Amino acid sequence: MSNFDYDLLVIGAGSGGVRAARMAAGFGARVAIAEDRYMGGTCVNVGCVPKKLYVYAAQYGKGFGDAQGFGWDSTQPRFDWSTLRDNKKDEISRLNVIYRNLLKGANAQVIDGRAVIVGPHTVSVGEQQYTAEKILIATGGWPHIPDFPGSEYVVSSNEIFDLDVFPQNLVIVGGGYIAVEFAGIFNGLGAKTTQLYRGPLFLRGFDADIRAHAAQEIAKSGVDLRFDVNVQSITSDGTSLRVRLTDDSELEADAVLYATGRKANLAGLGLENVNIRLSQQGAIEVDEEFCTSEPTIFALGDVTGGIELTPVALAQGMAFARRNFGGLDQQVDYDFIPTAVFCQPTIGTVGFTEEEARARFGDIRLFKSSFRPMKHTLSGSDEKAFMKIIVDAKTDRVVGVHMMGPDAGEILQGIAVAMRAGATKALFDTTIGIHPTTAEELVTMREPWTES
């Protein structure tokens, strides 16, 4: 038994922090976790969970139109923003309680309040000080809004879920997955939606073919996409916002959402009191065991500026607890991590992009397919799905799969398992498909793609 109050004190009750706290307590450690905002962190409160609920809501609007081709007299019903918003709030409140009870059940003490690091083993919360053999920072990220004339009028992804009034005209600024997802949500809910991105094509870091296909399908759905443009200034007349762009054009909006990136949530954390090194991007630098430059202080999740996905933070939390309190030498394997962008239609991706694969493997083979999903032969929609398989020519191993289409996120989860197991293209080709499905296309693309 150490002379400290706790063996582990976690700062931040998000996905990674809660997982680390629960598992460490399960190994017999004396654990406390401090949180000053809400249980469950970004994912539960202003990220994955509410976003997916709003995606479901947006898909109903499209579904009513698609149903007419199948014989349903589906006059477009009225959408009520307050019902969605308030039902979402109730669900999040339920999850907040569940997270608190999970910690309580694991015998981890919850300390409500903002934790400030005082020293290598000491944290203060209000007037109270606590000591711990090890401190774990898991405070996540926070939306970053640049400073420009009128920036005080914009909202971030934290506030957009809970607007008092539904924005009939919405301008979204940003080209990452958060901006793309919200463009699909509000377009699907009936808002006139404009998405601005300063670069030539959004979703930087994704496969080039997926990016191009996404731009085509999202524009087709009704989102006004404008590339190579940015906001110059925003003014308000008290009832609406006037958005002046760098090409000297203007837009009128009820709300402007800035989704231009997130930064490590470190404000007021007390890092000046200890020896913790930050990266050029302002994230906490850690080694493969999540240790900072201060030997007794660790960090994981979005606050370290790595792969900002909830399942990654969960895996890191498990690995940290097992290594430090379970006697297990476990590290997180970052190869072939699947992810999805819940735009409409959905993007699912796992493995290398074409550009990355060429740099890594040299000789590669490509398989591509674009087609109209069976549902839309009667719905009348001209939406098209797209699939791409990337193969290392030397080993025949599938090293990248990218898809945009119905249920892409659900489909790519299973594909990720196969890829982590080392599946070859020959194995894909000899796998019998499930007919009729969109997914079967992944095992029927047998002819390599060549440029015409």
- Report the 10 Å Cβ neighbour count for 295: 10
Rounded to an integer, what distance in angstroms lies between the CA atom of residue 47 and that of residue 277?
Answer: 28
Say which amino acid occupies 289. Answer: E
435 tagged catalytic:
yes
Rounded to an integer, what distance in angstroms lies between the CA atom of residue 35 and that of residue 286?
Answer: 22
Q: What is the C-alpha end-to-end distance of the chain, expressed in Å?
A: 71
For residue 55, what are its two tokens? Answer: 């995606």
Rounded to an integer, what distance in angstroms lies between the CA atom of residue 264 and that of residue 365?
Answer: 39
Rounded to an integer, what distance in angstroms lies between the CA atom of residue 156 and that of residue 234?
Answer: 15
Place of tokens 């009750």: 13
Rounded to an integer, what distance in angstroms lies between the CA atom of residue 364 and that of residue 358?
Answer: 7
Peptide bond into 311 cis (omega under 30): no
The H-assigned helical ranges of 106-207 are 177-189
Which is catalytic among the residues 121, 213, 402, 435?
435
Instruction: Calculate the dihedral angle through the C-alpha atoms of 184, 190, 191, 195, rounding to the nearest 10 degrees.
Output: 20
Peptide bond into 373 cis (omega under 30): no
Place of tokens 């693309």: 445
Side-chain-side CA neighbours of 422 within 13 Å: the count stands at 1
Rounded to an integer, what distance in angstroms lies between the CA atom of residue 437 and that of residue 410?
Answer: 13
Residue 76 CB contacts under 8 Å (≥ 6 apart), including other chains? 61, 64, 65
- Report the 10 Å Cβ neighbour count for 314: 20
Catalytically active residues are 435
